[in-house]
């Protein structure tokens, strides 16, 4: 396949992720605040929990749909469902129905599943030595929309007042428009379908292992590292707006903090992808744990310092990015053929369930031991991944 076709596919996926990121950014910034005001601090993690559960529920069905119909209709369907989620969020806030709000968050989470599938779609036809780079470019593209999303409070407030909408929902109106434009983009511009192209390529198969090329132990480690890193990130990030607002921070400060965090999640992902192609996947997964560990330490010793929280959230995003990009590239390295879509769907589901668990437990843990205590609890997962990497690295021959 020509590099021109692959570049066009990656470019379309990048554009789609920019649009989808607006919905994710709005959810990150305003979702916890809306849930907190509607149902109290114990349910303030509902935005993160609902979103990640929605992503978990959608990942395998979207992968199966892609397997039957192709990447293009699967990504368009997911983007449309996330747009419906934005609509429900606005409606639920207006009529003050908390279960409907959670459903809206869950459908917004389908947009996250789209982003997860899009990163793998970028690897469908990528050459092995460029796999990490192409994957990371799609991850990076979420930066633009997701960083803008938390800062749409100002413009969104104007829209909110003009349309007579409930408080905090104006940014979701902008997200609605962006998400449905993404639907059209995927349907019209993602041609040829990357999965159709991939099926026409000759690939290395391992029939006895159903396409798993280098062993299940390495694959289990890769998926576990992605899931644990995601759980650490979601649990701390989802409670940060609540922690800041209850300590007197303005919504502008909250939006700025989350924007910097999201920038950390995505902005340097091409660098992490490039490094993982050259240094190896495991070293970059470990670099991610180092950054996550530094975030835990910064919050653990500086939770009451606003600047320390901002720095920690940046480190948290960078650690997530390094571990997720390298872990996802490792999954793509280890699986080929028809097994790839099945494993990718399971990877995304496990990742999202881990994030949902982190978000669900974060609220009660915050209420019990505080923000610093939450960080220390999350740090246990960081230690677990480091220990697992040292064991797997010695026992299994992993691809660089």
Computed over every residue of the chain, the mean pLDDT equals 84
Per-residue confidence (pLDDT) for residue 85, from 0 to 100: 92
Per-residue confidence (pLDDT) for residue 338, from 0 to 100: 67
Q: Which CATH architecture has domain 3-199+208-395?
A: Up-down Bundle (1.20)
Q: What's the pLDDT tens digit per position in 335-354?
A: 876 677 888 888 988 998 89
Task: Find all residues with CB under 8 Å of 12, minimum gap 6, and list them.
Answer: 185, 186, 189, 190
Band of residue 213 on the pLDDT scale cut at 50, 70, 90: low
pLDDT at 2 over 80: no
Band of residue 21 on the pLDDT scale cut at 50, 70, 90: confident
User: Could you tell me the CA-to-CA distances from 338 to 44, 122, 210, 341 in Å, in that order?
Assistant: 40, 16, 8, 6
Per-residue confidence (pLDDT) for residue 25, from 0 to 100: 66
Tokens of 395: 């026992």
pLDDT at 209 over 50: no
pLDDT at 322 over 60: yes
Per-residue confidence (pLDDT) for residue 208, from 0 to 100: 38
pLDDT at 361 over 60: yes
Q: List the domain boundaries for the chain.
A: 3-199+208-395
Q: What's the pLDDT tens digit per position in 192-207?
A: 888 888 776 644 433 4
pLDDT at 287 over 90: yes
Tokens of 397: 């021959």
Q: Do residues 235 and 358 touch, judged by C-beta distance below 8 A?
A: yes
Q: What's the pLDDT tens digit per position in 373-388?
A: 999 999 999 999 999 9
Highest mean pLDDT among 2-16, 130-144, 296-310, 351-365: 296-310
Q: Is 388 exposed, middle or buried (0-12, 13-18, 19+ CB in 10 A)?
A: middle
Q: Do residues 224 and 330 touch, judged by C-beta distance below 8 A?
A: no
Q: Which of 254-268, 292-306, 307-321 has the lowest mean pLDDT?
A: 254-268
Q: Do residues 156 and 174 touch, judged by C-beta distance below 8 A?
A: yes
């Amino acid at each position: 396949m020509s590099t021109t076709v692959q570049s066009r596919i990656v470019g379309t996926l990048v554009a789609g992720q920019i649009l989808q990121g607006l919905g994710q950014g709005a959810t990150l910034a305003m979702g916890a605040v809306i849930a907190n005001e509607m149902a109290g601090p114990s349910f303030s993690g509902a935005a993160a929990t609902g979103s990640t559960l929605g992503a978990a529920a959608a990942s395998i069905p979207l992968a199966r749909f892609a397997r039957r119909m192709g990447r293009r209709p699967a990504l368009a369907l997911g983007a449309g469902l996330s747009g419906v989620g934005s609509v429900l969020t606005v409606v639920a806030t207006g009529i003050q129905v908390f279960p409907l709000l959670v459903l809206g968050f869950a459908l917004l989470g389908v947009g996250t599943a789209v982003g997860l599938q899009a990163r793998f779609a970028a690897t469908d036809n990528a050459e092995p030595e460029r796999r990490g780079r192409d994957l990371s470019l799609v991850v990076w593209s979420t930066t633009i929309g997701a960083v803008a999303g938390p800062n749409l409070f100002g413009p969104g407030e104007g829209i909110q007042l003009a349309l007579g909408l409930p408080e905090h929902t104006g940014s979701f109106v902008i997200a609605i428009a962006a998400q449905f434009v993404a639907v059209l983009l995927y349907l019209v511009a993602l041609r040829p379908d990357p999965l159709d192209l991939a099926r026409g390529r000759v690939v290395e198969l391992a029939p006895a292992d159903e396409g798993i090329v280098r062993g299940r132990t390495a694959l289990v480690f890769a998926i576990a590292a992605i899931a644990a890193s995601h759980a650490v990130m979601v649990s701390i990030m989802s409670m940060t707006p609540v922690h800041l607002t209850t300590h007197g921070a303005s919504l502008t400060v909250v939006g700025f903090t989350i924007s910097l965090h999201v920038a950390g999640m995505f902005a340097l992902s091409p660098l992490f992808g490039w490094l993982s192609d050259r240094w190896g996947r495991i070293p970059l997964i470990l670099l991610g744990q180092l950054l996550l560990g530094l975030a835990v330490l910064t919050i653990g010793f500086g939770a009451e310092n606003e600047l320390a929280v901002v720095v920690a959230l940046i480190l948290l995003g960078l650690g997530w990015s390094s571990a997720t990009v390298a872990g996802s590239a490792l999954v793509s390295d280890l699986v080929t053929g028809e097994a790839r879509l099945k494993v990718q769907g399971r990877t995304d589901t496990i990742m999202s369930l881990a994030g949902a668990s982190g978000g669900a437990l974060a609220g009660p843990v915050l209420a019990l031991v505080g923000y610093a205590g939450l960080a220390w609890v999350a740090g246990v997962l960081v230690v677990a991944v480091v220990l697992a990497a040292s064991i797997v690295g010695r026992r299994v021959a992993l691809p660089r």
